[in-house]
Amino acid sequence: MKLNYRIVIFALAIVFGIVFSLPSLLQTQSGKKITLGLDLQGGLHMLLGVKTEEATKSRIKSMAASIKHFAERNDILINGLTFDNKSVTFEVLDSDEIKTFDEFLSKLEGVTVTHKGSVISVSLTPKEIEKTKKQAVSQAIETIRNRLDQFGLSEPIVARQGKDKILVELAGIKSQEDEQRARELISRAAKLELMAVDEDRNARVYNMSDADAASYGDIILEDVKSPKIKYLVHEIPILDGGMLTGANVGFDQNNRPVINFKLNAEGADIFGDFTGKNVGKRLAVVLDGKVYSAPNINERIGGGSGQISGNYTVLEAKDLAIALRSGALLAPIYLMEKRSVGPSLGADSIKASMIALIGGFVLVIVFMMVYYRMAGVIANIALIANLLLLLAVMSLFGATLTLPGMAGIVLTVGMAVDANVIITERIRELIYEGKSMHKAIEEGYSNAMRAILDANITTLIASVVLYVYGTGAIKGFAVTMSIGILASMLTAILGTHGIYQMLESKMGKSKNYRFWFGIKG
Amino acid sequence: MEFFKYSRTFDFMSKSKLAMLFSTILVLASYAILATKGLNYGIDFAGGTVVQVKYDTKAPIKAMREKLKANKLFDGASISEFGSPDEVVIRMKTTTGNVTQDIGDVTREVLKGTGAFEVRRVDIVGPKVGSELKEKGIMSLVLAILSILIYVAFRFEWRFAVASIVALVHDVSIAMGAVALFAIDVNLDVLAAILTLLGYSLNDTIIVFDRIREGITKSKKANLTEIINESITRTLARTTLTSLTTFFVVFTLFMFGGEIIHAFAFTLLVGIIVGTYSSIFVASPILIFFGFDVKGYHTKLAEKAKREAEKNRMREQFESGVM
């Protein structure tokens, strides 16, 4: 009795299959499990594009703000501070001050400074623009991830795809309201700006065009609650949300939710300076281009904290605070692809594919037993082991099971018996030729080997290509197909051969071909 | 049980002319359908929006149409039943890039008052993503065919490779023709089915070719036609049985797998039937057509064996220290 290594390997494979597929089958708390794809458990999949050119624009804008602040701080008179998509331009009135300014500008990173007499223009270098764009995407990913983490979903996926795309996957969204909330949280720019109201001209705001406003260096903004109310504010903000260090929900004296925010040292400085100089004027609190409130400045506000009041619910205030805390999106995002599946549809899909899987499985099993008798039973053992292995490997990888993946498993059931059909047919042929049972089995296996290998490798090639070029759900299909093929090599070839060898002593004496191979012999 | 007891060789090749004619007609008809009717690209490749709505009772399609007309967003939207009378799909070309405003929400608003329903699925694919997916899809098909071609050429002989690719193109063409004929939405899942079919159809062909190769090397006959007939007859049981089991499971998918998997199952179903037929009647005659030379192959093999023996002898000499 020589050691039957095939049966040992096969037994080990079955044990491995059972042990590692159990967590998935029983949905235990611990252990590595197969996760259900969004199409099976319901959820939201989005591919977002990032408008990176907006990021460079806002870089330029904040550069303009800091130039303005520098000039005011050092009492340097500048004139005609304007900016476009590429550069900030201004004129220094006192030519002695140009040097001071140059010194300040030389500290800025990634800019080119050009002089035309007393007119200075500052623009971003191409390398800096590229960097800013790249940063905008990374920052958007980071920001969206932060926001979703605080939203309280289980394991949101936020990942970069390609150069400037972001993939967001949220599983287990149970209701329309949740989805709406998640979408708003993701897409909210959360750009906070504190802006000075142009008190000299604000009275005329209702008969002013945008172009008129621009000629004064102002812009017209609407009130968040009633768009009919308009404000004329200086285009260059006093400071923006980048200087925010915290935001949380509080309540004002009327017990309405407000958001308290804190500024960093630099922000606190600027804020203190500005409020000190502008007592009696109004300060517009602007969020994403809408004026939330425009309180009067009664005194200098030091310490760098402020409040945004608005007419919102506690939940809205909470989400707003999350958005502010996680920082603004440097660049707006837009939707490129979205797939959302309601939980009920996912449940239906699981049910339907399970029926197909079990139906197909039973059909194949019964067919094999009727047609091949004992050889069919052995092939069925291999088939079940194959499925267990497939589930085990998928669990170990923490793979996602999608609907096409389910289809892949169903297909595996149909194709996995192929190897056994080839082998058994070969054995039958040899028995017809009058070979002994033992000889027929050994030669049958060696004859069938080459065909099975060739056939499986070509199928594997097709599924690897599918995996490399497929997206999302299709990848899942490719994974199950590939693992299924590999597992069938182990179970259908090695495993069944081992079983035959184990039964050899019984089979060698038997002349009952009908029982073993379903033929008359 | 035995359906296919090997007792005598069936003369498949005598039918090959008829089969070739039949195949040519089918393939040409498929191309004609593809050229005139064209493929019905779904949103994955064409971009657009799909909203799936389920009602408690039969979906009031007429009332829905009226309601949708009122909103500009739904210009050119089509409404069709989806799998069961209470479920419908609204398809349109428009997409929105806005993350917060959702077509699903808009649909819910617009359809208010048509009965109790839930919006179960909203898929939006922007035009840019669609064209990218298309590119990737074509790329994957070409790559799969190429890599398979290389493998088969390496394992067999170039004529086998060409013959198996012709059979592949034949299968894929007919499957695509069927998809076009029944106006099935071509989405990623159909592409996956086509790629699966590539693997499957080839699998079938390879098993037959493997037998033919074996027949060529072992049999004393020099007549290729006879060898092919014998090889096909001997593999007939396997070809039919495996096709049957695969057909079973795909058929259950098709019947019970739900509407979403329908297109995938349909494409595969057609593919399995065509693929089985082509591995018997299409791939092998092409070998004859290309003038595969059994004698030449024999000589080649003999030379190869001689070289191997020579090598082994040298090695033995070298190892035993005789130089």
- Summarised one tens digit per residue, pLDDT across range A330-345 is 788 888 999 989 888 8
Q: Least CB-CB distance to A466: which of B52, B105, B192?
A: B192
Above pLDDT 90, what percent of chain A?
Answer: 21
Question: Is the Cα torsion angle A16, A402, A43, B254 positive or negative in sign?
Answer: negative
Q: What pLDDT digit, counting tens, does each position of A261-282 carry?
A: 888 888 888 888 888 888 889 9
CA distances to A364, A436, A518, B1, B75 from A513, in Å: 22, 11, 6, 11, 69
A49 vs B: CB within 8 A: yes
Look at residue B178 in the predicted model and tell me its pLDDT.
96
pLDDT digits (tens, 9 = 90+) for B50-97: 999 999 999 999 889 988 888 888 888 889 899 889 999 999 888 888
Nearest to B207 among A179, A451, A470 (CB): A451
**Residue B234 with chain A: CB contacts under 8 Å:** 429
Range with the largest mean pLDDT of A222-231, A323-332, B25-34? B25-34
- In chain B, positions 88-107, which contact chain A (CB-CB < 8 Å)? 95-100, 102, 104-105
Cα of A505 to nearest chain B Cα, Å: 24
Q: What element of type H or E holds A379?
A: helix A374-397
Chain A residues closer than 8 Å to B237 by CB: 421, 425
Query: Which residue does chain B place closest to A161, by CA atoms?
Result: B129
Kindly state whether B154 is in contact with chain A, defined as any CB-CB distance less than 8 angstroms: no
| Contact state of B242 with A421 under an 8 Å Cβ cutoff | yes
Q: Is A451 close to B188, i.e. CB distance below 8 A? A: no
Alpha helices in A265-329 (DSSP H): 265-277, 314-325
- Which residues of B fall within a CB distance of 8 Å from A407? 253, 257, 261, 264-265
SS3 of residue A367 by DSSP: helix
| Chain A: closest CA distance from residue B84 (Å) | 13
Neighbours of B253 (CB within 10 A): 29
pLDDT band at residue A151, thresholds of 50, 70 and 90? confident
A333/B99 touch (CB, cutoff 8 Å), yes or no: yes
- Please judge whether A360 and B249 are an interchain contact, meaning their C-beta atoms are less than 8 angstroms apart: yes
pLDDT of the residue at A473: 64
B99 vs A338, which has greater pLDDT? A338
What is the distance, to the nearest Å, from the Cα of residue B246 to the centroid of all Cα atoms in its chain? Answer: 13
Distance from CA of A178 to the nearest CA of B (A): 12
Whole-prediction pTM? 0.80
Q: How far is A495 from chain B, CA to nearest CA, in Å?
A: 19
Sequence-distant (≥ 6) Cβ neighbours of residue B229 within 8 angstroms: B9, B10, B11, B12, B13
SS3 string of A166-222?
Answer: EEEEEECCCCHHHHHHHHHHHHCCCCEEEEEECCCCHHHHHHCCHHHHHHCCEEEEE
* Res. A174: pLDDT tops 60: yes
Give A438-449 pLDDT, tens digit per residue.
889 999 999 898
Winning range, highest mean pLDDT, from B30-34, B221-225, B305-309 = B30-34
Coil vs helix vs strand at A229: coil
Has residue A499 got a pLDDT over 70? yes
**Shortest CB distance from A454 goes to which of B98, B143, B155?**
B155
Task: Report all structural domains of chain B as residue ranges with CATH numbers, in order of start.
Answer: 12-41+130-292 (1.20.1640.10), 48-125 (3.30.70.3400)
| Interchain contact B126–A (C-beta under 8 A) | yes
Output B77 or A152, whichever has higher pLDDT. B77
Is the pLDDT at A233 greater than 50, yes or no? yes
> Looking at residue B323, what is its pLDDT?
53
Indicate the angle between helix axes B262-281 and A403-432, nearest 10 degrees: 30
Q: What is the pLDDT of residue B4?
A: 67
pLDDT for residue B225: 86
Average pLDDT over residues B301-316: 84
**Closest residue by Cα to residue A335 from A50, A39, A133, A53:** A50
Rounded to an integer, the average pLDDT of A478-489 is 88
Domains of chain A, earliest start first: 5-40+342-517 (1.20.1640.10), 44-52+129-340 (3.30.1360.200)
Q: Which residues of A touch B244 (CB under 8 A)?
A: 367
- The Cα-based distances of A208 to A212, A223, A289, A452 in angstroms read 6, 16, 18, 80
Identify the CA nearest to B126 among candidates B91, B95, B101, B105.
Answer: B95
The Cα–Cα gap between B132 and B203 comes to 30
Q: Does A455 reach chain B within 8 Å, measured CB to CB? A: yes
Q: Is the pLDDT of residue B24 over 90?
A: yes
Q: Do B129 and A47 touch (CB under 8 A)?
A: yes
Judge whether A28 and A22 are in contact, CB under 8 Å: yes
Taking the Cβ of residue B149 and every Cβ of chain A, the question of whether any pair is shorter than 8 Å is answered with no
> With an 8 Å Cβ cutoff, are B191 and A454 in contact?
no
Whether B298 has a pLDDT exceeding 80, the answer reads no
Q: Which pLDDT belongs to residue B322?
A: 59
Q: Does B291 touch chain A (CB under 8 A)?
A: no
Interface size A-B, in CB pairs within 8 Å, comes to 253
Tell me the pLDDT of chain A averaged across its residues.
Answer: 86
Q: Which of these ranges, A111-115, A410-414, B133-137, B294-298, has the smallest mean pLDDT?
A: B294-298
Quick: pLDDT tens for A161-170.
Answer: 888 899 999 8
Query: Would an 8 Å CB–CB cutoff place B122 in contact with chain A?
Result: yes
CA angle (A430 as vertex; A426, A435 as ends), nearest 5:
150
**Confidence at residue A1, expressed as pLDDT on a 0 to 100 scale:** 47
What pLDDT does B5 receive?
A: 66
pLDDT of residue A472: 65
A50–chain B Cβ distance below 8 A for any pair: no
3-state secondary structure of A84: coil
Average pLDDT, stretch A42-54? Answer: 90
Best CA proximity match to B122, nearest among A476, A350, A44, A171: A44
